[in-house]
Chains A and B, each alone.
Chain A
Amino acid sequence: MALFTLVGGPCNGNIVDATALHLSPGDPVDCGGVRYIWNGGRPQPRRGCRQPEAVASAAHSTRDRSGKPGIGSCTSSRSRRRTSSGELGLLAPVSGVCQDKPMPMLAVTESQLIDAAGTIQDVYECTYAVAGHPGSFTFTVPKDGDVLAAAEAAVSALVAQVNALYGL
């Protein structure tokens, strides 16, 4: 069994069983909207970003106290050095995006939606950047109810959709 630890990005610290997933050295793993790739079991140099403290140790996390990814989660590495099968290696993101800011939300504004019945609904209109892809994407969440839960679900759906579209 070959175990790998995802380093940096949204899935930092996640363990991947390469054998179970039929992964070969160099194969990418998509997780949390970011593409990770086997880097030969060593931490990658992260130009332009502060080195995450947890890179050297997969047991640590770059997430801060609030659970958000820590600052310095650099995903610019593109090294494809290989290591022997079975070694506990590191999978580093290769999306080409160096996220010094843990906030891909570009803007939050207010808007209103009118449904087919003519009912007006107050919403937050959120403009979001998906890591690894250019452009910005917008979704709305009702101002009524649990705004944050709805927004988190919308973000997950948006990231999945954008990644799927770019994968076509």
Chain B
Amino acid sequence: MASSAFVPPDLVFEDLSGLVNPSDAYTVVSAMPSDMEGVGTDLIESVEITFQVTGRSGFFTVEIPLVGFRIFESGIDLTSEAGIVNSLYGL
């Protein structure tokens, strides 16, 4: 009897970093699709972005729902998130 081995398919993660506006204030490390809690028990599609703040150590993440036209018309801007980190360092 011929035996066969199960070969799992390669996991493919979609890179959504193109949704994030480039900026001198931060550098996007990755932007992966994810799910986040919506209203009640519903999950809504989101993008989880890992980024570095220019001049600061460490990595920071932000999860943004993939709903609404804002993202697709103007891109995702992480300037305010980077600003929060810089402001914390300034305390």
Contact = CB atoms under 8 A, between A and B. Distances in A.
Nearest to A105: B89
A66 interface: yes
A107 interface: yes
B90 A108 contact: no
A126 B58 contact: no
Chain B contact-residue range equals 10 to 19
A58 to B, nearest CB: 25
Interface stretch (A71-79, A88-96, A146-154): A146-154
Chain A contact-residue range equals 10 to 19
A107 B90 contact: no
A29 B90 CA distance: 25
A68 B91 CA distance: 8
Interface of A: 66, 68, 102-105, 107-110, 124, 126, 128, 141, 147-148, 151-152, 155
Given A66-B90, A124-B85, A128-B91, 17 more contacts: A68-B90, A102-B90, A103-B89, A103-B90, A107-B57, A108-B85, A109-B58, A110-B58, A110-B61, A124-B84, A124-B88, A126-B88, A141-B88, A148-B84, A151-B87, A151-B88, A151-B91
